[in-house]
Amino acid sequence: MELRMDGMSAPVRENGVPPSPPLLSVEGVSLEYQAPGRVVRATQNVSFDVWEADRFVLLGASGCGKSTLLKAVGGFIAPRQGRILLDGRPVHGPGPDRVVVFQEFDQLPPWKTVRDNVAFPVRASGRLNRKEAAERAEHYIEKVGLSPFANAYPNTLSGGMKQRVAIARALAMEPRVLLMDEPFAALDALTRRKMQEELLALWEEVRFTLLFVTHSIEEALVVGNRIALLSPHPGRMRAEINSHEWGMKSGGSPQFQAAANRIHRLLFEEAGAADGASHE
């Protein structure tokens, strides 16, 4: 497990050379909320780069600002300090180049069938006509294994199936970055594992760029090729880890457990001691 404490490591590629420039750059970003009578600083000076086809995970305890960072990349919150660049251009608001999949099962309009749920945003974005949008929707519905349910309504689907629809809907937009905010956290353990597996299989096929939020160390190791560890109140970069060596099959191995324990220590035990620490 390769670890850096400054949060600025590049992904490891097969030839050992990181591609450049990054697709997404988060540069010294501090984010705040205006709460009644006070300002809540959610993140402090967070920096990281995401390259094309990265599966970049934001990992940290509850309240460390993971969701807020994702919202900022989505363009829903403007940085108080710092900037966010996508393809070298500052992010100033939401756009079809960044699509979010949330944890909640009610993110799909219940009056639309699976087919219409997936096709609608593509059509609404104006990039494809009705026929093209329908074809695109069929393609991604098939990719998530839901073709037999294309005419079903969300309330007739299981939680895992709803999340598959949400993923198909997001991928059908063919965004520059797919943003996922704890997408599997509300699922039972077995379904969650299956969804992780399916997401990785989809990634193998489509090679989308993923920014994925979780508070599960195991999920971060399995899903991500790079992990940003955030410390809370406000969220700061604790470390960045290259985790490309772990996958679905590494789950129970002693090496995987050791990596998970190491991250746990970094997040919870060494947090105070390691602030400003040197590289390991």
Ligand X SMILES: Nc1ncnc2c1ncn2[C@@H]1O[C@H](COP(=O)(O)OP(=O)(O)OP(=O)(O)O)[C@@H](O)[C@H]1O
Residues that bind ligand X (CB under 6 A): 33, 35, 40, 42, 60, 62-68, 215
Q: Report in angstroms how near the CB of residue 268 gets to ligand X at its nearest.
A: 14
Q: Report in angstroms how near the CB of residue 40 gets to ligand X at its nearest.
A: 4
What span, in angstroms and rounded, lies between the C-alpha atoms of 18 and 204? 19
Nearer to ligand X, 38 or 279 (CB): 38
Q: Report in angstroms how near the CB of residue 3 gets to ligand X at its nearest.
A: 21
What span, in angstroms and rounded, lies between the C-alpha atoms of 184 and 273? 32
| Other C-beta atoms lying within 10 Å of the C-beta of residue 82 | 18
Structure tokens at 239: 């470390």
Nearer to ligand X, 11 or 234 (CB): 234
Kindly list the strands in the beta sheet with 89-90, ordered across the sheet, starting from the edge strand earlier in the chain. Answer: 38-50, 24-35, 81-86, 89-90
Nearer to ligand X, 32 or 116 (CB): 32
Nearer to ligand X, 46 or 64 (CB): 64
Cβ atoms of 225 and 242 within 8 Å: the answer is yes
Q: Report in angstroms how near the CB of residue 14 gets to ligand X at its nearest.
A: 33
What span, in angstroms and rounded, lies between the C-alpha atoms of 226 and 245? 10
**Angle at alpha carbon of residue 127, lines to 122 and 132, rounded to 5°:** 70
Nearer to ligand X, 60 or 154 (CB): 60
What span, in angstroms and rounded, lies between the C-alpha atoms of 202 and 237? 29
**Residues in CB range of 147: below 8 A, 6 or more apart:** 138, 141
Q: Report in angstroms how near the CB of residue 102 gets to ligand X at its nearest.
A: 11
Nearer to ligand X, 73 or 172 (CB): 73
What span, in angstroms and rounded, lies between the C-alpha atoms of 84 and 79? 8
Q: Report in angstroms how near the CB of residue 12 gets to ligand X at its nearest.
A: 26
